[in-house]
Structures are given as structure tokens and as C-alpha cells.
Amino acid sequence: MWRLKTLPAMAALLAAFLSTGWGSQPALAQSIMRSPNLNISSRVPSFDHGPHVYINPNLAGRAVTGLDRGNIRVGSPCSAVDRDNGDCSGQVATGNNRKSKSAGGHGTALEASLASRTIAKEIVAEIDGSLTSAQVDALARRHGLRRIESQSFELIGATIGLFRIAGNKTVETASREFAQDSSVRAVQPNFRYVLQDQKTAANDGDPSQYARLKLRLPEAHAIADGANVTVAVIDSGIDLKHPEFAGVTITPFDALGSKEGPHAHGTGVAGAIVSHVRLMGSAPAAHILAVRAFGASGKGGESTSFVILKGLDLAAGHGAQIVNMSFAGPKDTIISRGLAALAARNIVVVAAAGNAGPKSPPLYPAADASVIAVSATDAQDKLFAASNRGSYIALSAPGVDLFLPAPDDKYQITSGTSFSSAYVSGLAALVLARNPSLKPDEVRAVLMKTARDLGPPGPDDQFGAGEADAFAAVSAVAAASAPIAAAEKPAAGEISETEKERPAPTRDLSAPTMAAEKP
């Protein structure tokens, strides 16, 4: 259990948090988009260059996390190794600890840091599920709070409420006092996740749809196309009427409760999975649960811990077999509970590694142990410059200068680990279409063992096990009950049977790729 007990410990945590350099970092980009006017006449599209519009949907939200009943996780002492790993929040100090010297003088910085990474004056709390709405409202009033919303989340077996602080109390003070009530099980900030537009250098891109060749999608689709597999896309709004989605079963859900229209990011992510008219997604026959959890804001788009948890609950409750999470942010306790619950239900979770670059600490949900983390590569099999690195990377997939759908029947050229993640979610759907009984760890094993090794021999922090290979993956599953180990990658210098069958590219893929603008 995770109950907040001490304000001093929170201050100590910020001291360690700021020492990692996160306090000065901007939001983390998961995609870098631009939207030219495209005139696509075939699966190898041509396009007319028009005015370039840059869209950079980005999710971030680094903040203090890990509040436990009777304890608060703090980063003091925080070693150099901890800071390098971006993990100074895993140590525990009890509520009886006195204020440390390292925390002194950081009160103002604490408020500023939390203000930029959380929703001001809001807290998320697990409360006694037997309380009526009137009783919850009375509970909130006793502690100077106002209930915004509360609901029972079947996914995690808990009732979670979203509360606004009515007076002038700080989030820390209000949380500490609220956590001491016997009807309150847990308290944490309502973390902020942001979609952010960001301009980058212009580039003509490559209209050959190299991703379909790199992933060997045509060959894979001759074996499996994702039919009867449900993929939940937790993202911004999707243009359900786009021509690329004709005939696809897309069931929309709105975790925001607003009337906003579709967004380029969500439409592009869905397109990487189920496009099938002029473009080719990785699982064109899959069923999509379009869970809108990100809404427009001054920064391009925004979501919170509470809304993302609603998205996870919707996905699990409506039969998702795979959940795609093309965003990154903090190690959020309530989201971690949701991910653990998905894993317990044998739901495959795929997430973008993040676009914070080589010096970034691990980002979540990708760094969660139950998640398949995906980095991005370009047409020359080079790592996307902005892609995160780390031992948690499972594999890579194309993610630079991609042609994908955009709202209003348009198309876009876009880059980012958001779309690498989406391609791999589609590959997971192909694998499950071949064998629906596979568990998440088995799906991960298939994808990793059949990946084409890039970089140094063996797994590495950039490409993980290598670049995803749809045809090799579905071929491995087609080997009936044969052990997955049969799909081991060949030794250095050897050529596998599937590599021998790999078709030659139909055109030159050496066009320069878009330079990534560092966050």
C-alpha cells in the first residue's frame, strides 16, 4: 500500500530528482510529424510537395512517484549509478524520518517541479469502494477537497477518485492529510502526459513505404493478417472515416468525455496497424479499440494518470488482446498497477521507447518489465537519433519518414517511436492470429527471436534483439508446437532460411532520412 506520510521526505525526493537533470528537460517526443499534400495512386505512393505542417505529438510527465502506505519513496541517498539510470525514486524512507539536510531549501523548487509535471490542485486516491457518492463527497469536503470524478476500476479491483483541492493547501499537505483518513487507501498526484508539437528540418522523405519491405509484410500477410485479434490503441482521437480504414472494425471509446475531433497522432498510429487501401499496415484485418485518452491543449495534447487508467480499464473490459501505448512519461504507481493487471490477464502490451535521446533515463510504460519496448529505425537500418536507449528495449521497427494516414482523408510524413510501437503491435496481432493461445511472454519471445540482428552481435541497448521481421515471426509460430527456440537468429556470418527468401527492395532506399531535433 502506498500512503503519503511526510512532507520532508517529498522534499528530499525532489532534491534527488533535480540532481538527475530532469528538472530542466522539456517534454519527451514520441513522434515528429509533418503533413504534406500527398497524391497517392498506388502502394508505392508519389506525392506533390505542399506547405509543410509539423506536428510533434509527445507524451511526457516526469515527476515524483512511488507513494506507499506509511512510506514515501525518496532518492536520498541517491548514488551516481542511480542518477545515471534515472532511478532515484526506488529507495524508501518511513514516515517517521526527519527532514534531511539534502531537502533543505528546496521547497520552492519542489512546487515548481510538481507544477510542471502534475495537474495543479488535483490528486488521485484509492478510496473505500463501499462508500456511496454522497459519502465520497462528504469525505472530500472534510479534507478541503472537491470530488471531480470517481469510479470502480474492475481492471485493478479498486475504486479510484479524482479530487481537486478547494482551498490554498499544497498538493503535498492535502495528500498527507487525506491519506490519514481510514476511508482512503492510497494517494498520488495526477501526473501530466503531454502531446507536444515540435518543428524539425524539412525533408522530402522516401515514398517507397520502406517499412513494408523491412518488416516483410506482404509475405507475412499471405500467412496471417491479424483477423479476429483485437488491438486497443490508447491515444488521441482517430479519424474513423479515413479511406485507409474502410471495412476495418474500429470501436471508439472516449475516456475524456469531450467532443474533440480526430488527431494526426492517433490516426497515424492506427494507420500503422490497419491501413490496407493504398498503404499497408502491419495487421490490416485486426479489430481496433480506439480509446481516446489525449485531448487538445495549448501544448498540442494532454492526458493524465486518471484518464490513462480509464483507457486501460476500457481496453481490458472490451476484450483487447494487445494494448498499444505510443507515449512515455514517469514511473506512475497507479499506471504500474494497471499494467500488472493487464499482464495477469495475458494481454500483450507494446509501448514506444520514447524520443528523449541517448542520455535519457528509462521512460514508462516502455521500461515496465511486462511491456514490449520498441525503438525506431530508418530506411538504412540506423537508429532514429532521438530514440531512447536502454536494456529494456526489446526490439526495433521502422519509425523514420513514414507515410501514414492523417485526419480529413489526408496523409502525413511522420517519425517517432510511437509508430515503431504501432507496427510491432500489429506484428503481435499476426502472431496471435496464428496461435491465439500464446501468452505475452511467448509473443515477446517470438518477436525477439525472429528479429533481424542490427548493431553489435546479440541484444543491445539500441535495437534490442534487432529489427522486427513479420514474416519470420509468423513462420515461426506456424511451426505448430515446435519450440520457439527453433527461430533462433543465425550466428554471425550465416544466412537464415528466411533471410535467403527476403526479396530485394524494389527501389533505392538510400534517400537521406529526417534529422531528429533533440528534445
Residue labelled with grid coordinates 480499464: 313
Say which residues have a Cβ less than 8 Å from residue 22's Cβ, sequence separation at least 6: 62, 86, 361
- Beta carbons of 283 and 274 less than 8 angstroms apart: yes
- Beta carbons of 375 and 386 less than 8 angstroms apart: no
- Edge-first strand order for the sheet with 54-55 is 54-55, 32-34, 410-415, 402-406
Instruction: Output the CA angle 116-122-127, nearest 5 degrees.
Output: 140
Q: Is 339 helix (H, G, I), strand (E, B) or coil?
A: helix
Closest to 299 in 3D by CA, of 413, 417, 405, 193:
193
Q: Catalytic residue at 87?
A: no
CA atoms of 389 and 469, how far apart (whole Å): 20
Q: Quick one: CA dihedral 118, 154, 331, 103, positive or negative?
A: positive
Tell me how crowded residue 473 is: count the other CB atoms within 10 A of its CB. 30
CA 305 to chain centre: 13
- Beta carbons of 57 and 263 less than 8 angstroms apart: yes
Q: Catalytic residue at 276?
A: no
Q: Where would I find the H helices in 215-304?
A: 217-221, 264-274
Residue labelled with grid coordinates 520532508: 8
- Beta carbons of 20 and 41 less than 8 angstroms apart: no
Partners of 467 in beta bridges? 396, 452
Cell of 513: 532520412
| Active-site option among 106, 263, 265, 276 | 265
Q: What is the DSSP letter of 43?
A: S
Q: Catalytic residue at 418?
A: yes
CA atoms of 60 and 165, how far apart (whole Å): 24
- Beta carbons of 6 and 176 less than 8 angstroms apart: yes
| Active-site option among 235, 239, 401, 469 | 235
| Active-site option among 35, 418, 421, 425 | 418
- Beta carbons of 283 and 427 less than 8 angstroms apart: yes
CA 124 vs CA 192, 254, 315, 490: distances in Å? 12, 20, 21, 49
CA atoms of 201 and 412, how far apart (whole Å): 15
Active site residues: 235, 265, 418
